[in-house]
Structure 1
Amino acid sequence: MLSEGWSGVPDAGVPLESVEGPLGVLWGKSAERAGGQTNLLLSHLLDTGAVAERLWESFLAPSTRGLLDEVAGGPGRGRRLFAWLCAVHDLGKATPAFQYQWEPGARAVRAAGLRWHGPTVANQKRRWRHEHASAYLLMRALRRVGWAECHVAWVWPLAAGHHGMFPDEDAVQPPRQGRGQLQGGADWEVAQAGLLERVTVELGFEGLAEVQPVAVPARAVQLHVSGLIVMADWIASDKEYFPGLPDVSQVSMKGARERAGSAWTKLGLRGGWGALAGPGPEAFRERFGVEARPSQRLVMQAARDMEGPGLLVVEAPMGEGKTKAALMAAEILAARFGADGVFVGMPTQATSDPMFGQVRAWLQALGRGDDLASQVALLHGKRMFNKEWRGLVEGRERVGGEFGFAGVDEFGCEGDVYGMGEQGRGVGERSGAGGPAEWFLGAKRGLLCPFVVGTVDQLLLAATRSRHVMLRMAGLAGKVVVLDEVHAADVYMSQFLVEGLRWLGQAGVPVVLLSATLPPGQRRELVEAYVAGAGSREELRLEALPEPGGYPSVTSAWSAVEGPCVRVDSCEGWRPDLSVALAVCSEPVPGPRASRVQERQAQQEADVAVVDLLRAQLEGGGCALIVRNTVVRAQSLYSALAGVFGVGEVMLLHGRLAAGARAERTERCLGLLGVSGPGVGEGRPHRLVVVATQLAEQSFDVDVDLLVSDVAPVDLLLQRIGRLHRHGDRVRPPGLVVPQVFLTGLGGGPVEGADAGSVCGGGPAFIRASEVIYGRHLLLRTAAVVADALRPGPGCGSGSGAGVWQVPGGVPGLVAAVYGGEELVPAGWREDAGAARVEWEERQRERAQSAVPFLLTRRGDKEGVTLAGLHRVAVAASGGAEGGLDGVVRDGEMGEEVVLVVREGEGEVVRTLSGRALSVNGDVADELIDDVLAGTVRLPGGPASSAAAALGPLPGWVGHPRLRYARALVLDGLGWGELGEHRVHYDDVLGLTVELARRWPVR
């Protein structure tokens, strides 16, 4: 029922001259959403301010408190300002535009003499949202008391954006069609001013004028504070801990602080290590049980020598110990610059899992006695298949659905955030004592946990113009950010990485980047992005950026008063170079018009060549890794090898296995071949062949005796070589003492005889899928450096040769050559290579440009001073669980995920992929939810993923918090299913195979 029409005559009631009347009726939450009784708006504002005080005392990093003290005018002043910024976020609820929406509350407001014209307020085409009203009222009030315009300009967007989007100033004005009724007349102005004054005084200020800051914070700091405001609001909106208070006489700052203190304790919220002491000279051994290597000491010294928070780019060989060095650098930087935790970003979910254990072990070794290791959050969608994470959260109350507090709707009440589904809800595991607080495990809140290990996507998403991006920035600012394998970011992802580094640089966040194979151009781009952000510059070119003089190396960059400072140091590696023998195991490469029969025949011949090679090489035992560029090639080769060696000696690992099976196989593989695992005769297999896809390129810490790899761009090829003879002291089987790499996926002839003729317009022939994935340009340049190294010698198949690469000493030169602009390919390939370069450069430009609409700032806006209009054109929120925006930062390369279930015969019995029975409609008991989700598998991009868009959840999944957005792909009892016009099959050993209805390159 809508509010009554405005008569123009105030009702009898408390005189408006007394503010207590309006303050006693203006509601912030309805009784239905506040535990059964109305929560007054004054109560919610003071509660939020009290929560902010708790955040200041027990959560904010020392660096954040220092920044806010500077903004507020000196030490100790930031606390009040921060609490005030949080408290006034919902001032706009003191308007007819909000108060009319709940009829019982509206009646009380009218009875107090605050009136409006009901039809005018209710029938607006464009609603005036309360967060916009908050910004409008703040602008008006602050200008009236004489605030400088520069401070008004940065403060009002914080209120306007507390529901996740930053509008421009025009958007927060009340619609003209409202004829002044939406914001209210003179009587409303008195009530609004009285409410703001009451909150301001309760927080310790003499009046509104005294609140005015003395400095304008950088825009990245504003974004950080905005995220903290959202956090305070969400906590203070939890009806369990902040039930309704309908009587204004019960509302006080003292009471709000008591409520906030109780809530904070019960929620178990906490920050990180607080003020951290700088590690001493023995810290490395104390943390890791070994002495630091020269390169690790180099990294730590670089962290100590930085004159301000900045960027460290660490380039060192695979197996050099970059991760340990980065964690020690994080500890040093945190102690020096006031960070309160770490975020470690990895390229994939699979690489995040082992890093989770390493970070926990490091924190445990700090020996502080406050159980920091239990406060590490693993942040990716498949974390419940990580046994260490499960061990951290199991044994406590777990639910299949939402828990704790999910977020606030437009009324400031619990519920779906603007219809965003699980994007705005907490879904997943409960945690209790001994693990991260349950509150942190909700959607969009994971980065706020003091210690986080997850995929790099978490940082990339913080650089998108998406809703609630401020929560991501609040989770990164105040930490030290460590990103591993940064070379893995392609040109599209790099746009978000560069944007993220700009914001982190401006926020003063120390960042450590790790890579073994970083192209020089990418290093320059990353360094320039960070220092440009630190200087709040649109563009910055470091004309004198030094190149590393050795390998390993550390490039340090920070901002000083006189401008950016850059320093480059290098040292010797911890072990001598390996002479890695290269050989080409050529195979038939079908042309673009080959039939499917011809393609299958060529694949069979390629498999036979590798089988024969391994039969000879592993005759005396040994462990080999084979990396194929596509799942289809990996599956085919596995089948051929298993037929010769037996399934017990061959393992298959790729991204199209069900989530549960993939996690188990990865763990088993790392256990058998891990760098720190047992030596031969102490548990290491006598013979094992692992057939994998690109999963084996990144942070896959295994040690193998032999490598067979499809040709890939040189940096990725070198990453694969990094798994070879990784443990220097291991005893190798006879014949495998010398590290050997056999290259596959290309035709024979012109690689070792570079000018011997044309196979494909001048250069060598590569399998079609490799060219689709990587482009011919980089493959040709990689083939050129291979050709340069090859020399006559024994090999495999026709046109074979052998050569040597010095690893790791030769790594920087090889990468620089392939990614540089110098002429590299033999004369006979140049026409082919020229055309490939033109095509590659055009594709690079297209992919880079396609990221622009999603970036947090636009060209020309990177020197902006406030957050106003940041979301003028925002990324559309996708439905589904958190992480639904992954396709935005990965160029849609990730195919759709489906949950595989099995329906037997003509009946209606549905089973999980592992065989456990569900109900007729697929209803899932709580104890089966993880078993259902263990059947999640990612489809290849392209037609199969497009067809999956038509799938939906099973009937029994509709409404289930963790399954309502899941796409169910139903298989028959033999593992077959239909996906549009395509057929799919799932095999417990091979994983998912897809038969497309028409020809298409399948990865």
Structure 2
Amino acid sequence: MGERLKQSYPLAFMECLRPLPDQPAFVHLFAGLVQLADWLGSDTREAFFPYTAPGEDRIQSAVARAAYAVRSIGLDVSAWKNELNGQPPTFSAAFGVPTARPMQLAAAELSLGDIVVLEAETGSGKTEAALWRFVQLFEAGKVDSLYFALPTRVAATQLYQRVLALVTRLWPKGAPVVVRALPGYEAADDQEKISLPDFKVQWPDVPGDYTAHQRWVAESPKRFLAATIAVGTIDQALLGALKVKHAHMRHALLARSLLVVDEVHASDAYMTVLLEKLLQAHIKAGGHSILLSATLGAMARTRYLNIGNKKKHAPPSLADACAAAYPVLSFRDSTGIHLHPVAGNPQHKTVHWETLDAMDNPKQIAMLAAQAAAQGARVLVVRNTVPAAVATLKALEELTLAQGGDWLFKVNGVSTVHHSRYSRQDRPLLDQAVEAQLGKTRQDGRGRVIVGTQTLEQSLDIDADLLITDLCPMDVLLQRLGRLHRHNRPEAERPEGYRQPHAWVLTPAGHDLSPLLKRARHGLGRFHDGGGVYPDLRMVEATKRLVQAQPSRQIPADNRQLVEHATHIEALQGVEEELGPDWQKLGQAIEGDTSARRGVGHLHTLPYYEAFGEVLFPDSDQKIATRLGAADRLVVFDPPQPGPFQQTVKQLALRHHQIPEGVSPDALPTDIAVLPASAGFEFTLGSARYRYNRFGLERLKAHDKN
């Protein structure tokens, strides 16, 4: 065997005139390439590496087979690059718009370097700016692929269609496959796979389909990052930074990409550490990245731009942070960190806002919304929690029944709310209905009230005449305000009294947040374990004060000051000092929570700077995930059950806090009972009973199980 190896691979036994790098980062990268080669070389489909045929010399045929496999799955992108170089596309042609905004052209400058931060208001075109940067880097040979990472599955699903349209315009014929990188929801060019036994996959049979082998990259989540163009959640990228199986392969595949991270401000302390470690390895391996945010605090922006820089720069003071430009394109080079002002959305608006201590009063909220809808206004009500949203809708339905009129948001004729606890089959119906009734092109001139949660903040192109929202941190509040008067409309299209953007910000009784220090409610406050929707009440208090300080604000001109005064450490310390010991104790607890989560993040991430042989992976029974907390559970229904919107339900995701203790991972739903008039169904899992209807999925209390 030794002699045969020498004959077959003579170069391996010759004197090495150009040694490979011996840096740990290179060895880790090489390990990922070996994993990819092993995976691809183990594929037994006919065109790749089936078992050796009689008379075949695999040593000889392997070279041609490998070249074909690499080319056919899309790892060889030279043909697509040559096509762009031969006929460089314009921004207008690529996106089907008359012209590009200055921000979008500025973001594509190749001189910006390997890590860029783009901050601009919602609706300003940040997504197109990031995609156009990819086109320019790809055409210039700086990257070979794109991974667009979003915070949620819903956001990724929304963006997927836009990226698919772009790719079709760039390459009208023979385009690279666009992968929807969502486990359980995989798609390649909008075609969904069918899983078969023995880990095999079947795709819809299209005669003469040249993309058939390109879909190899979508057949397993571990291969997603091999795609030339993929859209998914940030989790798929973060798995390349964790001590988990195939992390090195993910890292090596991502190294050829422009990594776009959208809504980067939405990450918690644990995910922020993971992202920092990922970016360090990614940039070190030659990758590029652009981080997008509506408004990123100066502390976070400095931390990201310090990545890959030997000289670390200190974050600016509160005064300097507030003086920074907005919108802005940030990058760093050998001379330091640079913030270049850019022109974003040409639309500016004066938002009139005021607080209303009605957070605990769904009837009052419903009345306020109904009064506006009766005058023809499109009203968006955003609550911090699902129970609060459901309670608000029920109050609105009672009011509608008593007063007449019909301002309710409906899907296929069924009144409902918008949140995350709906099935994969029903969620697209909800999204489509929201955009139809509150989008750029409205169905009719009647008033409407749409009640929901944070799912209404992102991705959906909706335009409200009036916003009613729970109090939340300022960066989140600005996201919600981005849905208010989002589009320029003729004055006559908005009802009188709602032609100026107006927002009601709901607070607890007496506008007093101090009771939430002891017991979190409505998503505000810290749980005993440090969790919570918005645990840092200091930020929430600072946000409330900013709303109360002035009756109106200029958006986006005031965005920078608003965010910094609600998130900068100096501002938060000011809240602590003024409000006393209980708030100082909260600050210490939040700091402890943050340090603990960052510490866990450091323990879970792969140290790509250490020698490969010294890196120890944890035991297989230790769970390491991209997000801290217990895992959600996917419940499958076979056969599918009737849903509340005339659509069958195949699976439901249970949040970790909805899962009963001790339930087996293999447990199946039992005692399934269809509700009257096919309004949904109930089922049992372990010791818990659940109901899925027009209000979404809920775990029933003991007295409701009858």
TM-score normalized with structure 1 length: 0.61
One-letter code aligned to 1:635: V
Other-structure match for 2:62: 256
Candidates 196, 204, 217, aligned match of 1:401: 196
Q: Is the Cα contact below 8 Å between 1:777 and 1:833 reproduced in 2?
A: no
Query: Which of 692, 703, 707 pairs up with 2:452?
Result: 692
Instruction: Tell me, in whole angstroms, the C-alpha distance in 1 between the residues paired with 2:219 and 2:122.
Output: 35
Aligned counterpart, 2:588: 838
Matched, 1:376 2:178: yes
Q: Is the 8 A contact 1:315 1:518 kept in 2?
A: yes
Structure 1 counterpart SS, 2:350: strand
In structure 1, C-alpha distance between the alignment counterparts of 2:69 and 2:134, rounded to whole Å = 31
Q: Tell me the residue number matched to 1:935.
A: 650
Give the one of 950, 968, 993 matched to 2:698: 993
Using the alignment, how far apart are the partners of 1:673 and 1:452 within structure 2?
29
Whole-Å separation in 1 of the counterparts to 2:533 and 2:332: 33
Structure 1 residues 332-411: aligned runs within 5 Å? 332-367=136-171, 369-372=173-176, 375-383=177-185, 389=187, 392-393=190-191, 399-402=194-197
State the match for 1:615 in structure 2: 370
Aligned length: 666
User: Quick one: which amino acid aligns to residue 803 of structure 1?
Assistant: P
User: In 1, are the aligned partners of 2:373 and 2:449 still within 8 Å (CA)?
Assistant: no
Aligned partner of 1:892 in structure 2 is 629
* Contact 2:264-2:292 at 8 Å conserved across structures: yes
Matches within 5 A, 1:777-788: 778-788=536-546
Pick 1 or 2: higher relative contact order, CA cutoff 8 A, min separation 6. 2
Q: Distance in 1 between matches of 2:600 and 2:506?
A: 33
Task: Tell whether 2:100 aligns with 1:292.
Answer: yes
Note if contact 1:951-1:968 (Cα within 8 Å) is conserved in structure 2.
Answer: no
Map 1:535-546 → 2, pairs under 5 A: 541-543=312-314
Deviation at 1:476, TM superposition (A): 1.1
**Alignment partners' CA distance in 2, 1:646 and 1:673:** 12
* Shift in Å, 1:516: 0.5
CA distance in 1, matches of 2:133, 2:72: 34
Contact 1:898 / 1:969 at 8 angstroms: preserved in 2? no
Give the equivalent residue in structure 2 for 1:99.
Answer: none
Which of the residues 279, 282, 285 maps onto 1:501? Answer: 279
Q: Tell whether the 8 Å contact from 1:341 to 1:451 is kept in structure 2 after alignment.
A: yes
Code of the aligned partner of 2:682: W
Pairing partner for 1:945 from 659, 663, 667? 659
- 1:40 is aligned to none
Task: Provide the C-alpha distance between the structure 1 equivalents of 2:181 and 2:116, rounded to a whole number of angstroms.
Answer: 24
What is the letter of the counterpart of residue 542 of structure 2? Answer: A
2:219 is the alignment partner of 1:442:
yes
* Distance change (3 Å), C-alpha of 1:874 and 1:356: same
Q: What is the RMSD of the two structures over their aligned residues, measured on CA atoms?
A: 3.4
Match of 1:574 in 2: 345
- Please list every run of 5 or more consecutive structure 1 residues that lacks an aligned counterpart in the other structure: 1-190, 403-414, 416-424, 590-605, 752-758, 792-801, 879-884, 902-909, 917-930, 954-966, 999-1003
Is the CA contact (8 Å cut-off) linking 1:218 and 1:506 kept in structure 2? no
Cα separation, partners in 2 of 1:243 and 1:992, compared to 1, 3 Å: closer
Q: Call closer, same or farther: CA 1:610–1:951 in 2, change over 3 Å.
A: same
Contact 2:125 2:345 in 1 (8 A): no
Correspondence for 1:742: 504
Task: Evaluate the alpha carbon distance shift between residue 614 and residue 837 of structure 1 in structure 2; reply closer, same or farther with a 3 A threshold.
Answer: same
**Pair 1:728 & 2:488 matched:** yes
Indicate how the Cα distance of structure 1 residues 430 and 845 shifts in structure 2: closer, same or farther if over 3 A, else same: farther
* Equivalent residue, structure 2, for 1:961: none
Question: Are 1:631 and 2:402 counterparts?
Answer: no
* Residue aligning to 2:125: 321
CA-CA distance at 1:380 after TM superposition: 0.5
Report the alpha carbon displacement of residue 270 of structure 1 after superposing the two structures with TM: 5.4
In percent, how many aligned pairs have the same letter? Answer: 24
Which secondary structure does the structure 2 equivalent of 1:297 belong to? helix
Question: Secondary structure, in 3 states, of the residue corresponding to 1:701?
Answer: coil
Q: Does 1:972 align with 2:678?
A: no
Contact 1:345 1:454 in 2 (8 A): yes
The AA in structure 1 aligned to 2:216 is W
Which amino acid in structure 2 is aligned with residue 983 of structure 1?
A: R
State the Cα deviation string for residues 696-748 of structure 1 (Å, max 9, x = none). 22333322222111111111111111111111235322221111111225222
- Superposed displacement of residue 323, structure 1: 0.7
Other structure's SS at 2:691 match: strand
Larger strand proportion of the pair? 2
Partner residue in 1 for 2:689? 983
Residue type at the aligned position of 2:327? P
Report the more deviating stretch, 834-843 or 547-556.
547-556
Q: 2:329 aligns with which of 554, 566, 570?
A: 554
Please tell me the residue identity of whatever aligns with 1:493. M
Distance change >3 Å, CA 641–CA 588, structure 1 → 2: closer
Distance in 1 of aligned mates of 2:60 and 2:88: 47
Deviations 1:261-305 (A, max 9, x none): 6666887875473357579998222222222223223323xx232
For residue 668 of structure 1, the aligned residue among 433, 444, 448 is: 433
2:326 is aligned with what amino acid?
Answer: Y
Counterpart position of 2:678? none
User: Is contact 1:345-1:352 (8 Å) kept?
Assistant: yes
Listed as ranges, the matches of 1:122-137 within 5 Å are: none
Q: What corresponds to 1:869 in structure 2?
A: 614
SS at match of 2:291: strand
Specify which of 299, 309, 317 is matched with residue 521 of structure 1: 299
Task: Report matched runs for 1:824-863 at 5 Å.
Answer: 824-825=574-575, 829-857=579-607, 863=609
Are the equivalent residues in 1 in contact too, given 2:660–2:687 (CA < 8 A)? no
Contact 1:750–1:764 (CA under 8 A) maintained in structure 2: no
Give the letter aligned to residue 618 of structure 2. A
CA distance in 2, matches of 1:566, 1:827: 32
Classify the secondary structure of the residue corresponding to 2:43. coil
Contact residue 621 and residue 733 of structure 1 kept, 8 A: yes
Q: Cα gap change, 1:434/1:913 in structure 2, threshold over 3 Å: closer, same or farther?
A: farther
Aligned in 2, Cα 1:700/1:970: closer, same or farther, shift over 3 Å?
farther
Q: Cα offset for 1:340?
A: 1.5
Q: Distance in 1 between matches of 2:143 and 2:188?
A: 28
Letter in 2 for 1:299: A
CA contact (8 A) 2:101 2:343 kept: no
1:463 Cα deviation (Å)?
A: 0.7
Which secondary structure does the structure 2 equivalent of 1:583 belong to?
A: strand
Q: Note if contact 1:651-1:689 (Cα within 8 Å) is conserved in structure 2.
A: no
Specify which of 352, 355, 359 is matched with residue 584 of structure 1.
Answer: 355
Q: Which amino acid aligns with 1:228?
A: L
Mapped partners of 2:425, 2:534: distance in 1: 35
Aligned with 1:804 (options 549, 552, 576): 552
2:42 and 2:519 map into 1 onto residues whose CA distance is: 63
Give 1 or 2 for the bigger CA radius of gyration.
1
Describe the SS at the equivalent of 2:241: coil
Q: Of 188, 193, 214, which aligns to 2:19?
A: 214
Unaligned 5+ segments in structure 2 are 401-405, 676-680
What is the CA-CA distance between 1:951 and the residue it aligns to? 5.3
Which sits farther off after the overlay, 722-731 or 456-465?
722-731
Q: Does 1:481 align with 2:259?
A: yes
1:819 aligns with 2:577: no
**2:379–2:466: 8 Å Cα contact kept in structure 1?**
yes
* Contact 2:325/2:339 (<8 A) preserved: no
Report deviation, 1:254: 3.6
Give the whole-Å Cα distance in 2 for the aligned partners of 1:268 and 1:277: 16
Distance 1:434 1:200, change over 3 A: closer
CA 1:260–1:708: 2 relative to 1, 3 Å = same
Q: 1:846 & 1:969 partners in 2: Cα distance?
A: 39
